Amino acid sequence: MWPTSELALTPLWRIRSEALPFNERVQLSYQRCRSVVQTYRLTSNDIVNVSPMYWKFYTDPILMMDCAVAILLTIHYNLCTGTLAMYSSDRPDIARLVEKLLKFEISGQYCLTELGHGLDIFNMESTAKLLSNGEFELNTGISRAAKYMPPTSPCGIPVVAIVFARLIVDETDRGIKPFVVYLSDGSRMNKGITCKVTTVGGGSQSVKHALTSFDHVRLPRTALLGSIEKAQDARGAFYKNIYRVITGSLSVGALGLSAMRVSSYIVGSYSQRRHVIDSSTGISRPIITFSTQYIPILTAISQTFVMEAFANKARRMFLAPEATIFHKHFIASIFKATISRFAKSIPIVLGDRYGAQGLNDVNQLTIIHANARGGSIAEGDILTTSIRFGVEVILGRIAPPPTVKKDSLLWKHERSAIAELGALMRKGNSHRDSNVARQILPQCQPLIEAIGHRMAYDSAIEAGLDERLIQLFISSVMKFDPAWYSENENISRAQQAMMDQEVATALLPDINDFLDGLRAKDYITAPIPK
């Protein structure tokens, strides 16, 4: 049970916002943000330590009722407040700011990427020059250096942001540093700061994503977070400063659970309510009794329960005392890449199972899907992180966590994939060889997902999940590489198809128990299942 179960049923969260003017939807989302903040009352320790309560927040289905709230509070809590909390013990002024953020008296933003520098943000062009009076002068200068795409426009309460820029001292670049910058008083932008709201993204509901530019903005000396000195290891210092992005990979991945949970509940409930006349008997029957309906629904349910077990295991591994930042990033990236595939595919696959009605925003799935796409990019683009860690795994520089079942199909598939790509890489002079890279890079994300599927399976076994759900999960992920299972394990296409049918048919009588187990009923705004 989540702390928001009663909140989700209040008028604030039951307003049909689809027909409201855009600006009214934006204000409604900020009101909902405040209600969630007041319900959870997270502390800085919760955020810094990824506490059970913080994790509960990220897996709360209320964030699927208004995906704008998920976006706004992810930036507010994880990126902005989480970064500031790293410095608050030695900075009373920062500690006071953190307290205001925790009460949502101020909205927190995070300005890292630029219009012209996303994945290569280490080459950012924004600068903060130290002046003779001890102040800093913040400039984006050219258009491609504008910060993209945090929603920094005035929102009714003051807005503060962590802004990353190159620190220039005596014409010398001292590296990328974070600065605390107050953007607006809630009504208008502060002097020298320009916010250009972009067009509304499909399915992003009520978020004013923007381009934010700084023109000779004066900042006090206290705006700088951390040392003014140049780090000996500039890249290492940069990754330390953006550590909350790494934490965000784990947290944003957890949002995918609610996307899967809510989508499965909506279509599962609809399919029991919707009846058709069976042409062979003339008797009305619920569409859930058709295999074309119950197989994808039960498959989605099995993936949801298995990934829930993996989410909890990934958090424990992330928080392990011996885990380095590199290892934390590895675990978070595996989890996020794996769950993102399901979070994006389930709303589409199940959306097709209730026809034209599934195309309406009011029925939640199209919005959930669009935001799942955004989540796969935010706080660690899954393709880029998969390439980074996929290459590391192939080179043997880092090893996936060990398995609990060395005879499992998914473990064998994972080891085979690593071995095949390793042999391919050894054919070149190095992993940077253009011919090798051309063949290896497209295989990195499937490799990371294969590792994730095996880890999810292990997690489900350890959690004592219903064996039938685990078997249906295995059958579903075999479809990502069916030829391998045919070639290496002698499981024919017909046998693979039969695995789905047999397990799903055995699970069908218990579908109501599984739907109840999703714990999503109070968070459904779609009218279809009612």
Q: Measure the CA–CA gap between 372 and 253, rounded to whole angstroms.
A: 9
| 45 and 112 fall within a common domain | no
The domain of 378 spans 243-274+286-523
| 153 and 74 fall within a common domain | no
The one-letter code for the residue type at 186 is G
| 327 and 454 fall within a common domain | yes
Q: Model confidence over 255-265: pLDDT tens digits?
A: 999 999 999 99
Task: Report how far apart, in Å, the C-alpha atoms of 204 and of each of 37, 209, 341, 375 are.
Answer: 21, 9, 19, 11
Q: Model confidence over 471-525: pLDDT tens digits?
A: 999 999 999 999 999 999 999 999 999 999 999 999 999 999 999 999 999 999 9
The CATH number of whichever domain residue 172 belongs to comes to 2.40.110.10
Domain-located, residue 291: yes
> Which of 47, 69, 102 is a domain's end point?
102
Q: Model confidence over 364-388: pLDDT tens digits?
A: 999 999 999 999 999 999 999 999 9
For residue 168, pLDDT beyond 90: yes
Are 367 and 361 contacting, i.e. CB atoms less than 8 angstroms apart?
Answer: yes
| 97 and 113 fall within a common domain | no
Mean pLDDT of 433-439: 85
| 149 and 186 fall within a common domain | yes
Q: Measure the CA–CA gap between 363 and 360, rounded to whole angstroms.
A: 6
Domain-located, residue 269: yes
| 170 and 137 fall within a common domain | yes
> Which of 210, 236, 262 is a domain's end point?
236
Domain-located, residue 411: yes
Q: Is residue 429 exposed (0-12), middle (13-18) or buried (19+ Cβ within 10 Å)?
A: exposed
| 420 and 471 fall within a common domain | yes
| 413 and 518 fall within a common domain | yes
Domain-located, residue 280: no
| 228 and 343 fall within a common domain | no
| 424 and 463 fall within a common domain | yes
| 454 and 399 fall within a common domain | yes
> Which of 102, 133, 163 is a domain's end point?
102
Q: Model confidence over 20-39: pLDDT tens digits?
A: 999 999 999 999 999 999 99
Q: Model confidence over 389-399: pLDDT tens digits?
A: 999 999 999 99
Quote the number of domains for the chain: 3
Q: Measure the CA–CA gap between 179 and 162, rounded to whole angstroms.
A: 6
pTM score, two decimals? 0.96
| 258 and 324 fall within a common domain | yes
